[in-house]
Amino acid sequence: MLSAACKESIRAMIYIAHAGGDKKIIPVKEVAEKLETSFYFLAKNVQKLVKAGLLFSYKGPKGGVKLAKSPEEIKLIDIVEAIDGLEFFETCLLGFKECSDEHPCAIHHKWADKRKAIYKLFSETSLKDVVEDMEKNCLQIIF
Amino acid sequence: MLSAACKESIRAMIYIAHAGGDKKIIPVKEVAEKLETSFYFLAKNVQKLVKAGLLFSYKGPKGGVKLAKSPEEIKLIDIVEAIDGLEFFETCLLGFKECSDEHPCAIHHKWADKRKAIYKLFSETSLKDVVEDMEKNCLQIIF
DNA sequence: TATATTTAAGATTAAGGAGTCTTAATTCTT
DNA sequence: AAGAATTAAGACTCCTTAATCTTAAATATA
């Protein structure tokens, strides 16, 4: 459902919020090392997050990125939208071109329920929620 | 979430159930025409459905495919499993390798709820449900 | 039995996303 | 001003999935 790029971007945002929040600048290189992933791949996705207004970036020595807003203002759905887009939440599950609220396919309404529930979860969950939860429970295992 | 191949396979199964059920043999060519899709692509996916035991196939003139079980015995989840597999229902939404019931990530449990709800919907919805609903409401628009 | 029709299987090609690399631009530090 | 560090941008390669084609196998029908 979420692309590999999107999952990694969310994990990156969690690390940035955890390590620097909207105050400290963190080099992308450091994020890639902590996530044990490719710097190149991560850097490309970070560029999208910058363009989407979720991160500020700074070039040069001591450069890097930091959150462009406070962690409670950044919702998971913002990251999903920036990387994957919202198509998932807008199209017929079975791919019927004619499917719509007026001419719903057999599972249109039931699927809409599930889809909306997921959208709600992503819209209501902020980086702050995620980071606080993980700092309590499991962040030391992961980073 | 579902691959293009999977969505098309579900639509194909709906058409086969509608036009032939587990009685009449329908040529794959006819299915491809009704779905307005590539015969080649569809035929390859149909082979998977045959191997998964969802369809019987018959070669030669008057050949084609028909349901291997009654429409109420075939659930959407069976088609998803045959084409895409069930990985979607088994992995961490954020891609944390260490995430598990014991060391859950911040949205592990909430996501598990959503995922299970989708699995339930797919497991409880049979081809019969879908076809009956669509024959009532919208099938004439679609095929 | 010969022919036409249909699926089976595997090879091949195309497209898109994942992942890598190179060069340019910026900026801190000396 | 020079050099080093860092992101920005775009080109490039690789891999998976989508899509196509070819040949073989099976079978109904004349």
Q: What is the 3-state secondary structure (H, E, C) of A6-54?
A: HHHHHHHHHHHHHHCCCCCCECHHHHHHHHCCCHHHHHHHHHHHHHCCC
Chain A CB contacts of B88 below 8 Å:
1
Best of A10, A74, A96, A127 to substitute, by most chain B Cβ atoms within 10 angstroms, is A96
Question: What SS3 class is residue B111?
Answer: helix
User: Which residues constitute the domain of residue A78?
Assistant: 4-136
Chain B CB contacts of A134 below 8 Å:
105-106
> Measured between CB atoms, which of A4, A95, A118 is closest to B11?
A95
| Cross-chain Cβ contact B106/A130 below 8 Å | yes
Question: What SS3 class is residue A96?
Answer: coil
Chain B CB contacts of A133 below 8 Å:
106
Whether A143 is in a domain gets the answer no
- What is the CATH classification number for the domain harbouring A87? 1.10.10.10
**The pair of three-digit structure tokens given for residue B103, joined into one six-digit string:** 């060391």
DSSP-assigned beta bridge partners for residue B80: none
Helices (H), chain B: 4-19, 28-35, 39-51, 76-83, 108-124, 127-137, 139-142
Whether B93 is in a domain gets the answer yes
Whether B142 is in a domain gets the answer no
Q: Are A105 and B134 in contact (CB under 8 A)?
A: yes
**The pair of three-digit structure tokens given for residue A117, joined into one six-digit string:** 């529930």
Interatomic CA–C1' length for residue B47 and nucleotide C25, angstroms = 54
Determine the protein residue whose CA lies at the shortest distance from the C1' of C3.
B61
Could you say which residues of chain B have pLDDT below 70? Answer: 139-141
Residue A142 scores a pLDDT above 90: no
Residues in chain A: 143
Determine the protein residue whose CA lies at the shortest distance from the C1' of D3.
A61
Residues with CB under 7 A from strand C: A 3-5, 8, 38, 40-41, 43-44, 58-63; B 27-29, 40, 43-44, 46-47, 50-51, 57-65
| Cross-chain Cβ contact A93/B7 below 8 Å | yes
> Measured between CB atoms, which of A7, A106, A118 is closest to B134?
A106
pLDDT reported for residue B137: 82
**Strand pairing class (A55-58; A64-67):** antiparallel
Q: Are A72 and A128 in contact (CB under 8 A)?
A: yes
pLDDT reported for residue A98: 86
Whether B143 is in a domain gets the answer no
How many structural domains comprise chain A? Answer: 1
pLDDT reported for residue B141: 61
Quick one: closest CA in B to A79, which residue?
B94
Residues B82 and A90: their CA atoms lie apart, in Å, by: 25
Whether A47 is in a domain gets the answer yes
| Cross-chain Cβ contact A103/B4 below 8 Å | no
Residues in chain B: 143
Residue A40 scores a pLDDT above 80: yes
pLDDT reported for residue B25: 97
Cβ-count burial B87-96 (b if 16+ within 10 Å, e if not): eeeeebbbbb
Q: What is the pLDDT of residues B78-118, one digit of tens each?
A: 999 999 999 999 999 998 888 889 889 999 999 999 999 99
A7 nearest nucleotide via C1' and CA: C18
CA angle A115, A96, B41 (to 5 degrees): 115
A4 nearest nucleotide via C1' and CA: C18
Question: CA of B38: how far to CAs of A71, A96, B54, in Å?
Answer: 47, 15, 21
Q: What is the pLDDT of residues A56-99, one digit of tens each?
A: 999 999 999 999 999 999 999 999 999 999 999 999 999 998 88
Whether A141 is in a domain gets the answer no
Residues B135 and B4: their CA atoms lie apart, in Å, by: 23
Tally of CA atoms within 13 A in the half-sphere of B103 that contains its CB: 10
Residues B64 and A78: their CA atoms lie apart, in Å, by: 47
pLDDT reported for residue A28: 97
Q: What is the pLDDT of residues A7-25, one digit of tens each?
A: 999 999 999 999 999 999 9
